[in-house]
């Protein structure tokens, strides 16, 4: 319920909303359609977390947006 500090959502996941992406402080760029991106949304803020950062130190856990070039970008499967 409300009060949860943030829950990750991948691009195209069922609970994801365009409004949450719109609440980011900057356009997400490539992260918007990347399978490694997780949207962390709370009542007060929204962040993009890069899941690839967990296993590869070349990637920032919270990338500076917009991301316009990224070696780790992998298109999310979209079934919308
Ligand atoms: S791999 Fe690159 S494009 Fe994908 S989420 Fe991480 S920073 Fe964004």
- Ligand 1 atom 4 nearest Cα: 73
Protein residue with least CA distance to atom 8, ligand 1: 31
Total of domains in the chain: 1
Domain-embedded: residue 35: yes
3-state class of 6 per DSSP? coil
Q: With respect to residue 19, please indicate whether it lies within any of the assigned structural domains.
A: yes
Q: Which domain holds residue 50?
A: 7-54
* pTM score: 0.81
With respect to residue 1, please indicate whether it lies within any of the assigned structural domains.
no
CA distance 72 to 43: 29
Mean pLDDT taken over the chain: 86
Is position 20 within any domain? yes
Residue 49 Cα, ligand 1 centroid: separation in angstroms? Answer: 8
Q: What is the pLDDT of residues 38-77, one digit of tens each?
A: 999 888 999 999 999 999 999 999 999 999 999 999 999 8
The SS3 of residue 29 is strand
CA distance 45 to 49: 13
Bridge partners (DSSP) of residue 47 are 40
Residue 49 near residue 65, CB atoms below 8 Å: no
- Terminal-residue alpha carbon distance, the chain: 26
In a domain, 12, yes or no: yes
């Amino acid at each position: 319920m409300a009060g949860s500090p943030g829950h990750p959502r991948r691009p195209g996941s069922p609970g994801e909303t365009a409004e949450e992406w719109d609440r980011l402080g900057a356009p997400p760029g490539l992260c918007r359609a990347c399978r490694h991106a997780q949207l962390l949304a709370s009542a007060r803020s929204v962040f993009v977390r890069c899941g690839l950062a967990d296993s590869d130190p070349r990637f920032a856990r919270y990338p500076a947006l917009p991301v316009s070039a990224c070696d780790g970008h992998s298109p999310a499967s979209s079934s919308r």
